[in-house]
Amino acid sequence: MATAHDRAVLNQILNPLLPNSDGLDEVKHEEVVIEHEGFARSVELEREGVRLAESGKSADAIAVFSKAIESCPVNPSAYNNRAQAYRLNEQIEEALADLNEALKLGNEKGKAACQAFVQRGSIYRLQGNDDKAREDFQAAAELGSSFAKMQLVTLNPYAAMCNKMLSDVFSNMKNGKTS
């Protein structure tokens, strides 16, 4: 009879992108503490910028995120958000510059770094640079991003094929088929 841990391990093999309650997919965020007089104002401006970006006003959002960065130039989240607005505005080089700055400011740790790695990996993927995309998705996956894990699987056709074969084997076993 299979134990709960055995079932969790099998679930992780068959569904590597889904989190489980066993802690095998634990989020690993070492948050960066920002102590800057303009941090609270920067966060307020970020919220305003997000609302503008969500309403399709990416150029206005970029201006607000720039103000957020002026208020607190050490806030990696503001750079992440401005990078997203740049992407929406098809300003890819500017987005990459902001993502690199976000990673530098956050020492490649924490939630902001995880988001920056995912965003940058997505840009690289769209540019057809799968090697750089894989590196960034791997870094984000190590920080706990399930989206990055999914992207790593799609970038690795052998892993996808293996998962499909295992799934078929277990499905056949479950349905009483032996060949």
Distance CA 84, CA 27 (A): 23
pTM: 0.73
Instruction: Spell out the residues 6+ positions from residue 13 whose beta carbon is closer than 8 angstroms to its own.
Output: 163, 166
pLDDT band at 18; cut points 50, 70, 90: very low
The predicted structure's pLDDT at residue 105: 94
- pLDDT tops 70 at residue 150: yes
Label residues 122-154 b or e (16+ Cβ within 10 Å = b).
Answer: bbbbeeeeeeebbebbbbbbebbbebbbebbbe
Is the model's pLDDT at 37 over the cut of 80? yes
pLDDT value at position 77? 94
pLDDT(11) > 60: no
pLDDT in the model for residue 171: 79
% residues pLDDT > 70 (the chain): 77
Note the pLDDT tens digit of each residue in 51-82.
999 999 999 999 999 999 999 999 999 999 99
> Residue 145: which pLDDT band, with cuts at 50, 70 and 90?
very high
What is the tens place of the pLDDT at every residue in 90-144?
999 999 999 999 999 989 988 999 999 999 999 999 999 999 999 999 999 999 9
